[in-house]
Structure formats: C-alpha cells, structure tokens
Amino acid sequence: MTKLTTVAMIATGLALGSAASAETWDLPMAYSATNFHSATGAEFAQCVTTGTGGALTLVTHPGGSLFAGGEIKRAIQTGQVNIGERLLSGHQNENILFGFDSIPFLATSFEDSERLFDAAHDTIEAVLEDQNLHMLYSVPWPSQGLYFKKEVNSVADMAGIKFRSYNSATARLAELTGMLPVQIEAAEISQAFATGVAESMISSGATGYDRKVWESLTHFYDVQAWLPRNYMLVNLEAWNGLDESTQNVVNGCAEIAEYAGDWRSIQYTGFTLSKLAENGMVVTPPGEQLATELRAIGEQMTAEWLEKAGAEGQAIIDAYNAGN
C-alpha cells in the first residue's frame, strides 16, 4: 500500500494499525494551572502520553475551563470525559464517606493524613467503583486555615461574616460559628472577595497564594483543621477498555504523580504561608480561646459525621486510631 493511500485511509476514518487504537482524552481540573495539583496532573498527562507512545494522549484543562469543579465528577461518571481531577469531599452530600478527609482535627499533619487515607482507601475505592469510577491517585492539600479581613480571637468575632465554602463540612463549620456560607469554586474566589460576595474562608495557604487573596483579606489563622484530598478519577468502563500495557503505563505514571504531588504539597505549605506574610497578611496560629472553641465545634462535627457514616465510617476511624 502506498503512503498516500494510508494517509487517505486515516483521513477518511479507516485508520490502520496502531493509529486505529490511538485515543485522546480530555482531562478537566478545577484549579489554576500554576497550582501544585494542576502541575502534578500536567506531568501525569505528559507521562501517560509519552509512555504510551501517543496511544493514549491526555490533554489537561486546568482552572475549571472545561468543567467547573462541581461538575467534573459527574462528567467522568457519565462519560462526557473519560478522566479528570476532583476534590471528593465536595460530594459528601452524595455519600458521607467522601467527607472522611474533612473531619476537623482528626488528621492534621501530612503523616496522619496519609494514614487516614490508607485506612479509608479500600472503602472509597469500592464506593467509586459502584459509581462507575476508578481511582488512579490522590494527593492532599496542605492543612486548612481560616482567612478573614479582620482580627478574629473567638467564634463570637465570626458572627454574620460571609464565608466561602467548598464542601458541606466547610458550610457546616460556617453555620456552627454563626457565619453565612456561600459555596464558591476556587477559580472564582478572587472575584468573590473583591466584590464582597464572600469575606472569609477556610482553605490552604496554597489556595490563598494561588488566588492572591491578600488583595482583599488580611488575616490567616493556621488552625490546621484537616487536609482534604484531590483524586485523579477515570471512567470505569473507559479504564476497562484500555489494553493491559496501557493500563500499566497509566498505573506507573499515577504512582509517580502521587509521590510527586505529596512532596509538592509539603514543600508548598511553608512557601505559600511565607508568601501570604510577604504580601502583608498576618499569618499566625489561632489564639487560645479561638483554638479551644474550634476544637469543641470539631468534636460536634466529628460526632455528626460518624452518626451519618455508620459502621463503615466508624471502621475507617477505628483503623486510623489503631495506628496511633
């Protein structure tokens, strides 16, 4: 067959040989391209594309440009896209177990977060498989602190403040502290703070840095509430449709991504907190009263989560505590 004929056949969709199985998958991500999760995702995509010799090409779309954060999981489940990255605790309303990583003051260090993830891994994997999803890797955000545009020394100081939430745990925290929750994607928060739609949030130094929140906010209290996780998820049918050698490459790249993402998250913690301070924010641990009052709220939220999560939730916490 002449070269020209082959080209013509590919062009008319009658592709031959390896070209026949080459696929391109769009990979939506919610956070800005410069964010460390997005950087890890971009490297993962490159690793898969290179490793499969282009048989599977992953094209990342950071910043919520293809699907907003809240839509990514459904898009993968329903096959609108085959792969994407998502903060799973944002779907705690669907299944309370997804919120295991947003229980206040349960696991507040990277080490504890890793152990908590190990304790929850198989349960979360099974819940995802039931939803036509397969987990490739997961990376934690740095621990969560409170941002305000004034000094706050007690829960009473928070009354009436408009609070940006990103999942139901953050919304519940707002309710219990007398604040007014409004759910806003990370990609939209600079705008929300600039226009006064929100005046505070709980998040990492990483997100505060990525979104330059010092333009609107003044205080960061490093309360170290929890470390929520992002997950790289793939549509289960699409995953099962890949041949074994492609799956092996994807798994290898996922392992590297998880390692690199963890490392980046740790490094980014100190860097971003110092950048908040350099840009004029007060970055400080909470005062004693605030810390004590938040702990009491944390205990209530833990009890509420356990009540909803039942035996499966309790088993995660027990397995985690058994390692303490």
Residues of this chain that bind ligand PCA (CB under 6 A): 87, 141, 166, 186, 203-204, 206-207, 228
Partners of 28 in the β-ladder: 61
Please say which residue, 146 or 309, places its beta carbon nearer to ligand PCA: 146
Whether the CB-CB separation of 223 and 145 falls below 8 Å is answered with yes
Please say which residue, 22 or 33, places its beta carbon nearer to ligand PCA: 33
Please say which residue, 141 or 320, places its beta carbon nearer to ligand PCA: 141
Report in angstroms how near the CB of residue 106 gets to ligand PCA at its nearest.
16
Q: Which of 227, 244, 230, 226 is nearest to 297 (CA)?
A: 226
Q: How many CB atoms lie within 10 A of CB 270?
A: 11
User: Which tokens is 136 given?
Assistant: 């490739």
CA within 13 Å, CB half, 220: 28
CA–CA dist 206, 192 (Å, integer): 17
Please say which residue, 166 or 221, places its beta carbon nearer to ligand PCA: 166
Report in angstroms how near the CB of residue 103 gets to ligand PCA at its nearest.
14
Report the chain's terminal Cα–Cα distance, integer Å.
67
DSSP 145: E
Report in angstroms how near the CB of residue 49 gets to ligand PCA at its nearest.
27
Please say which residue, 177 or 203, places its beta carbon nearer to ligand PCA: 203
Report in angstroms how near the CB of residue 140 gets to ligand PCA at its nearest.
9
Backbone angles phi, psi at 315, to 5 degrees: -65, -35
User: Which tokens is 142 given?
Assistant: 């740095």
- CB burial of 2-38 (b: ≥16 within 10 Å; e: otherwise) equals eeeeeeeeeeeeeeeeeeeeeeebbbbbbbbeebbbb
Report in angstroms how near the CB of residue 324 gets to ligand PCA at its nearest.
25
Residue type, 111: E
Report in angstroms how near the CB of residue 43 gets to ligand PCA at its nearest.
19
Please say which residue, 47 or 229, places its beta carbon nearer to ligand PCA: 229
Q: Which single residue is written with the structure tokens 């898009």? A: 75
Report in angstroms how near the CB of residue 292 gets to ligand PCA at its nearest.
24
Please say which residue, 38 or 207, places its beta carbon nearer to ligand PCA: 207
Rg (CA), the chain: 21
Whether the CB-CB separation of 270 and 202 falls below 8 Å is answered with no
